[in-house]
């Protein structure tokens, strides 16, 4: 079932709501401010329930939140070189807010993007899901089309655990560009347990996108073999962070998009990443419909007043963001997330939470 309560007031006097989905021993909490995941509580191997996502206790923390905890990012997530793109033959300018001399764009707008908007709730037929919607006018945030975004969050009990499904959709009356992601940070031992760099992770990716000095992909697709970005065999997140690597230096660690195997433009989910924590026994399997998944182990986290009074430092949680490749609009050979009146944009993300018995 879905319970609702007031989370807080926005500076303009609007009321932000908190929605809690309870299924079995699991709880998913989402706010309509930024269609943001506030919490996800699931049992460990001993049945103890902990919240495993980072965030803040109150609404105010999300007003100025460079880490984008739990947020729905868009209409264009990640970085766009030159803060410009072309749709058809028409150039469009995005907000310049990132990189040297603020020449690039990050997450559309850090103050007006989808993660800073108050979404509206749409009545959902399911008792265990929540659908939110947000409209952008033609030209708003620099892109064409009267656009309607929807985000549906579902919590399902499975035989071996719990599954969270997130579905994003955009409808537009003009051809436009959309690349939405979710920016939740996980710590499978519990959000207040300290570093997540001991989490063992495997990624179904044989290649990744190296970045230039401005953190934007440099246009190459390189094999992960013999690099710190090789997660084909499970290893701890922090295992290879001490290696000498230009890419690690540029990203201040790992902050790169991995080319998840098997992408087809059919919208089908496929497994992309698995993780487990030996202390709690919790496991996480992420499936996506997007071509890429950005791994970011919280390299720059520094929040002294996180949820429940917790201080989050570098490595306190990891984000695994399903996305079309960053700056793909400037690389026509890469998959392109174009949205037209005839073909809406859609992306799916699935988090499967379970446990294993330590041997």
pLDDT at 124: 74
CATH of the domain at 335: 2.70.98.10
pLDDT at 347: 98
pLDDT digits (tens, 9 = 90+) for 139-180: 999 999 999 999 999 999 999 999 999 999 999 999 999 999
Cα–Cα distance for residue pair 188/200, rounded to 1 Å: 10
Angle at 285 between CA 281 and CA 289, to 5 degrees: 170
Task: Please give the residue range of the domain that contains residue 309.
Answer: 2-355
Q: Is the CB of residue 242 less than 8 Å from the CB of residue 249?
A: no
| Strand, helix or coil for residue 97 | coil
Cα–Cα distance for residue pair 207/220, rounded to 1 Å: 10
CB neighbours of residue 160 within 10 Å: 12
Q: What percent of the chain has pLDDT over 70?
A: 99
Number of independent structural domains in the chain: 1
pLDDT at 333: 97
Q: Is the pLDDT reported for residue 359 higher than 60?
A: no
| Active-site hit among 115, 256, 321, 323 | 321
Question: Rounded to whole angstroms, what are the CA distances from 104 to 81, 257, 259?
Answer: 5, 17, 23
| Active-site hit among 183, 191, 215, 256 | 183
Is 183 annotated as catalytic? yes
Is 157 annotated as catalytic? no
Q: Where are the beta strands (DSSP E) in 119-266?
A: 120-122, 129-136, 147-158, 161-172, 176-177, 181-183, 185-186, 200-203, 205-208, 222-223, 235-236, 256-260
For 42-52, what is the mean pLDDT?
A: 97
Query: Sorting pLDDT into bands at 50, 70 and 90, what band is 320?
Result: very high
pLDDT at 357: 79
């Amino acid at each position: 079932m879905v319970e609702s309560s007031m989370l807080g007031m926005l500076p303009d006097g609007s009321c932000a709501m908190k929605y809690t989905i309870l299924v079995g021993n699991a709880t998913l909490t989402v706010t309509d401010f930024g269609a943001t995941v506030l919490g996800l509580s699931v049992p460990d191997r001993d049945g103890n329930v902990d919240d495993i996502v980072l965030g803040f206790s109150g609404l105010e923390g999300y007003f100025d939140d460079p880490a984008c905890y739990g947020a729905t990012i868009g209409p264009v997530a990640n970085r766009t070189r030159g803060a410009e793109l072309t749709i058809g033959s028409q150039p469009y300018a995005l907000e310049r807010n990132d990189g040297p001399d603020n020449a690039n764009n990050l997450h559309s707008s850090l103050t007006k993007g989808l993660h800073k908007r108050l979404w509206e709730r749409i009545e959902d037929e399911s008792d265990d899901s929540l659908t939110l919607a947000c409209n952008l006018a033609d030209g708003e945030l620099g892109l064409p089309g009267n656009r309607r975004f929807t985000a549906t969050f579902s919590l399902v009990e499975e035989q071996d655990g719990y599954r969270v499904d997130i579905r994003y959709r955009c409808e537009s009356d003009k051809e436009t560009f959309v690349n939405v992601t979710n920016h939740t940070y996980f710590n499978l031992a519990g959000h207040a347990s300290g570093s997540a760099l001991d989490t063992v992770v495997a990624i179904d990716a044989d290649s990744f996108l190296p970045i230039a000095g401005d953190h934007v992909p440099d246009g190459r697709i390189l094999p992960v073999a013999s690099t710190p970005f090789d997660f084909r065999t499970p290893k701890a997140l922090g295992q290879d962070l001490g290696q000498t690597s230009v890419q690690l230096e540029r990203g201040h660690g790992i902050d790169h998009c991995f080319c998840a195997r098997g992408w087809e433009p059919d919208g089908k989910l496929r497994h992309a990443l698995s993780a487990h924590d030996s202390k709690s026994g919790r496991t996480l399997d992420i499936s996506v419909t997007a071509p890429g998944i950005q791994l970011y182990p919280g390299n720059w986290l520094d929040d002294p007043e996180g949820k429940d009074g917790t201080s989050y430092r570098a490595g306190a949680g990891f984000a695994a963001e399903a996305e079309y490749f960053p700056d793909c609009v400037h690389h026509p050979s890469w998959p392109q997330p174009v949205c037209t009146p005839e073909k809406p944009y859609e992306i799916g993300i699935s988090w499967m939470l379970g446990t294993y018995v330590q041997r």
